[in-house]
Amino acid sequence: MFNSEFIGHCFPTKILNVEEGKLKFFSQTIGETNPIYLDKGAAIDRGYRSILAPPTYSFSLTLEGESLKDKYEPIGLELGKLLHGAQSFEYFGEICAGDTVIIDAKIVDIFQKKGGALDFCIEEMVVKNVKRETLAVLTQTFIMRHK
Protein backbone atom coordinates (compact mmCIF):
# COMPACT_ATOMS: atom_id res chain seq x y z
CA MET A 1 0.00 0.00 0.00
CA PHE A 2 1.10 3.55 -0.59
CA ASN A 3 1.61 5.17 2.79
CA SER A 4 -0.68 8.20 3.11
CA GLU A 5 1.75 9.78 5.57
CA PHE A 6 3.71 10.77 2.46
CA ILE A 7 0.99 13.15 1.20
CA GLY A 8 2.79 16.48 0.88
CA HIS A 9 6.21 14.83 0.74
CA CYS A 10 8.70 16.79 -1.38
CA PHE A 11 11.57 15.02 -3.09
CA PRO A 12 14.98 16.71 -3.24
CA THR A 13 15.31 19.33 -6.00
CA LYS A 14 17.14 18.06 -9.07
CA ILE A 15 19.20 20.23 -11.40
CA LEU A 16 19.93 18.65 -14.77
CA ASN A 17 21.51 19.37 -18.08
CA VAL A 18 19.33 18.46 -21.04
CA GLU A 19 21.82 16.39 -22.99
CA GLU A 20 21.68 16.59 -26.77
CA GLY A 21 22.63 12.95 -27.39
CA LYS A 22 20.04 11.59 -24.97
CA LEU A 23 17.34 13.84 -26.37
CA LYS A 24 18.12 12.81 -29.95
CA PHE A 25 18.08 9.11 -28.94
CA PHE A 26 14.62 9.60 -27.41
CA SER A 27 13.32 11.26 -30.59
CA GLN A 28 14.78 8.48 -32.74
CA THR A 29 13.27 5.79 -30.51
CA ILE A 30 9.76 7.20 -30.85
CA GLY A 31 10.18 7.32 -34.64
CA GLU A 32 10.33 11.09 -34.86
CA THR A 33 11.29 12.35 -38.32
CA ASN A 34 10.84 16.12 -37.92
CA PRO A 35 14.42 17.52 -37.94
CA ILE A 36 13.71 20.04 -35.15
CA TYR A 37 13.73 17.01 -32.80
CA LEU A 38 16.86 15.46 -34.30
CA ASP A 39 19.17 18.02 -35.86
CA LYS A 40 20.62 21.03 -34.08
CA GLY A 41 21.10 23.07 -37.26
CA ALA A 42 17.52 22.49 -38.41
CA ALA A 43 16.21 23.38 -34.94
CA ILE A 44 18.22 26.63 -34.86
CA ASP A 45 17.00 27.49 -38.38
CA ARG A 46 13.43 27.15 -37.08
CA GLY A 47 14.03 29.51 -34.17
CA TYR A 48 14.94 27.12 -31.35
CA ARG A 49 18.06 27.32 -29.16
CA SER A 50 18.90 23.73 -30.09
CA ILE A 51 17.13 20.38 -30.61
CA LEU A 52 13.61 20.68 -29.21
CA ALA A 53 12.45 18.21 -26.55
CA PRO A 54 9.22 16.44 -27.68
CA PRO A 55 6.08 17.05 -25.58
CA THR A 56 6.59 14.12 -23.20
CA TYR A 57 10.37 14.38 -22.78
CA SER A 58 10.11 16.33 -19.53
CA PHE A 59 8.72 13.12 -17.97
CA SER A 60 12.01 11.41 -18.82
CA LEU A 61 13.95 14.31 -17.32
CA THR A 62 12.07 13.76 -14.06
CA LEU A 63 13.27 10.12 -14.07
CA GLU A 64 16.87 10.96 -14.85
CA GLY A 65 19.42 9.79 -12.33
CA GLU A 66 17.02 7.89 -10.13
CA SER A 67 15.41 4.46 -9.94
CA LEU A 68 11.70 3.86 -9.42
CA LYS A 69 12.59 1.41 -6.64
CA ASP A 70 14.79 3.80 -4.69
CA LYS A 71 12.44 6.74 -5.10
CA TYR A 72 9.11 5.10 -4.38
CA GLU A 73 9.73 1.97 -2.28
CA PRO A 74 9.92 4.05 0.90
CA ILE A 75 6.40 5.29 0.03
CA GLY A 76 5.15 1.71 -0.30
CA LEU A 77 5.62 0.93 -3.99
CA GLU A 78 5.66 -2.72 -5.03
CA LEU A 79 7.19 -2.54 -8.49
CA GLY A 80 5.44 -5.62 -9.88
CA LYS A 81 2.02 -4.11 -9.14
CA LEU A 82 2.71 -0.68 -10.60
CA LEU A 83 0.64 0.78 -13.42
CA HIS A 84 0.87 4.25 -14.86
CA GLY A 85 -2.75 5.36 -14.59
CA ALA A 86 -2.72 8.84 -16.05
CA GLN A 87 -0.34 11.59 -17.06
CA SER A 88 -0.85 15.31 -17.59
CA PHE A 89 1.36 18.07 -18.91
CA GLU A 90 0.83 21.81 -18.81
CA TYR A 91 3.26 23.79 -20.93
CA PHE A 92 4.62 27.28 -20.34
CA GLY A 93 7.87 27.21 -22.32
CA GLU A 94 9.95 24.88 -24.45
CA ILE A 95 12.86 22.70 -23.33
CA CYS A 96 15.84 22.33 -25.66
CA ALA A 97 19.14 20.45 -25.65
CA GLY A 98 21.76 22.35 -23.68
CA ASP A 99 19.25 23.83 -21.24
CA THR A 100 19.68 23.48 -17.49
CA VAL A 101 16.43 22.60 -15.77
CA ILE A 102 15.38 22.53 -12.12
CA ILE A 103 12.85 19.87 -11.12
CA ASP A 104 10.79 19.76 -7.95
CA ALA A 105 8.51 16.80 -7.25
CA LYS A 106 5.87 16.44 -4.57
CA ILE A 107 3.36 13.74 -3.60
CA VAL A 108 0.01 15.53 -3.67
CA ASP A 109 -2.38 12.68 -2.88
CA ILE A 110 -2.56 9.02 -1.90
CA PHE A 111 -5.88 7.19 -1.73
CA GLN A 112 -7.51 3.79 -2.25
CA LYS A 113 -10.45 2.69 -4.39
CA LYS A 114 -12.49 -0.50 -4.67
CA GLY A 115 -12.02 -1.42 -1.02
CA GLY A 116 -8.25 -1.11 -1.23
CA ALA A 117 -7.88 -3.20 -4.42
CA LEU A 118 -6.59 -0.13 -6.25
CA ASP A 119 -4.03 2.08 -4.62
CA PHE A 120 -3.40 5.57 -6.06
CA CYS A 121 -0.45 7.94 -5.71
CA ILE A 122 -0.56 11.36 -7.39
CA GLU A 123 2.67 13.25 -7.86
CA GLU A 124 3.17 16.75 -9.23
CA MET A 125 6.45 17.77 -10.81
CA VAL A 126 7.44 21.28 -11.81
CA VAL A 127 10.21 21.87 -14.36
CA LYS A 128 11.80 25.32 -14.33
CA ASN A 129 14.65 27.01 -16.16
CA VAL A 130 17.60 28.65 -14.38
CA LYS A 131 15.65 31.92 -14.18
CA ARG A 132 13.09 29.95 -12.12
CA GLU A 133 10.46 30.38 -14.84
CA THR A 134 8.13 27.40 -15.02
CA LEU A 135 8.42 25.46 -18.29
CA ALA A 136 6.15 22.52 -17.55
CA VAL A 137 3.97 21.11 -14.79
CA LEU A 138 3.51 17.35 -14.84
CA THR A 139 0.97 15.35 -12.87
CA GLN A 140 1.30 11.60 -12.78
CA THR A 141 -1.06 9.02 -11.37
CA PHE A 142 0.49 5.76 -10.27
CA ILE A 143 -1.77 2.83 -9.49
CA MET A 144 -0.96 -0.41 -7.70
CA ARG A 145 -3.30 -3.33 -8.30
CA HIS A 146 -3.72 -5.61 -5.33
CA LYS A 147 -5.25 -8.90 -6.52
Partner 1 sequence: MSSSENSKFCSGDILEPMTHNPISRTTLALFAGASGDHNPIHIDIDFAKSVGMDDVFAHGMLGMAYLGRFLTSITDQRNIRSYNVRFSSITQVGAELKCTGKVKEITDNNSERLMKIELLVTDQNNDVKLVGDAVIAL
Using CB under 8 A, which of the segments 5-13, 27-35, 104-112, 121-129 binds partner 1?
A: 27-35
Q: Residue 23's closest CA among 43, 2, 3, 47?
A: 43
Q: Residue 6 or residue 89: which is nearer to partner 1 going by CB?
A: 89
* 120 touching partner 1, by CB under 8 A: no
Q: What is the closest distance, in whole angstroms, from the C-beta atom of residue 92 to partner 1 in the complex? A: 9
First to last CA, the chain: 12
DSSP assignment of 78-125, as one string? -GGGEEEEEEEEEESS--BTT-EEEEEEEEEEEEEEGGGTEEEEEEEE
Binding mask 53-92 for partner 1 (x = CB under 8 A): -xxx--xxx-xx--xx----------xxxxxxxxxxxxx-
The DSSP H or E segment spanning 47 is none
Q: What is the closest distance, in whole angstroms, from the C-beta atom of residue 26 to partner 1 in the complex? A: 4
Determine how β-strand 100-113 pairs with β-strand 118-128.
antiparallel
* 29 touching partner 1, by CB under 8 A: yes
Q: Residue 44's closest CA among 77, 71, 20?
A: 20
* 94 touching partner 1, by CB under 8 A: yes
* 17 touching partner 1, by CB under 8 A: no
Residues that bind partner 1 (CB under 8 A): 22, 25-26, 28-32, 34, 52, 54-56, 59-61, 63-64, 67-68, 79-91, 94, 147
